[in-house]
Amino acid sequence: MGQLTVLVVDDEARIRKLVRDFLVKKDFRVVEAEDGEKAVDIFFEDKNIDLIILDVMMPKMDGWQVAKTIRQYSKVPIIMLTAKGDERDELKGFELGVDEYITKPFSPKILVARVDVILRRSNMLKENVEEVGGIVLDKAAHVVTIDGQTVELSFKEFELLTYFIENQGIALSREKILNNVWNYDYFGDARTIDTHVKKLRSKLGAKGEYIKTIWGMGYKFEVS
Written as one string, the DSSP assignment of 96-132 is TT-SEEEESS--HHHHHHHHHHHHHHHHHHHHHEEEE
Nearest Cα to 23, choosing from 103, 97, 116?
116
Q: What is the pLDDT along the chain (224 residues), one digit of tens a residue?
A: 457 899 999 999 999 999 999 999 988 999 999 999 999 999 999 888 999 999 988 888 999 999 999 988 888 899 998 876 666 666 676 677 888 888 888 888 889 888 988 888 777 556 678 888 899 998 877 889 998 889 999 888 999 999 999 899 999 998 889 888 876 555 556 678 899 999 999 999 999 999 999 998 999 999 97
Pick the CATH number of 5-127 from 3.40.50.2300, 1.10.3720.10, 3.40.50.1100, 3.40.50.300: 3.40.50.2300
**Using omega within 30 degrees of 0 as the cis cutoff, is the peptide bond preceding 77 cis?**
no
What is the rounded distance in angstroms from the CA atom of residue 28 to the CA atom of residue 136? 30
CA distances for 108 relative to 3, 27, 45, 49, 113, angstroms:
19, 15, 27, 20, 8
Is the full-model pTM beyond 0.75?
Answer: no
CA distances for 99 relative to 89, 111, 213, angstroms:
13, 13, 44
Domains 5-127 and 133-221 share a fold: no
CA distances for 163 relative to 6, 85, 130, angstroms:
33, 49, 11
Identify the architecture of domain 133-221 in CATH: Orthogonal Bundle (1.10)
What is the rounded distance in angstroms from the CA atom of residue 1 to the CA atom of residue 167? 22
> Domain locations in the chain?
5-127, 133-221
Nearest Cα to 114, choosing from 49, 23, 20, 21?
23
φ, ψ for residue 8, nearest 5 deg: -105, 120
Q: What is the pLDDT of residue 180?
A: 83
CB proximity list for 173: less than 8 A, separation 6 or greater: 217, 218
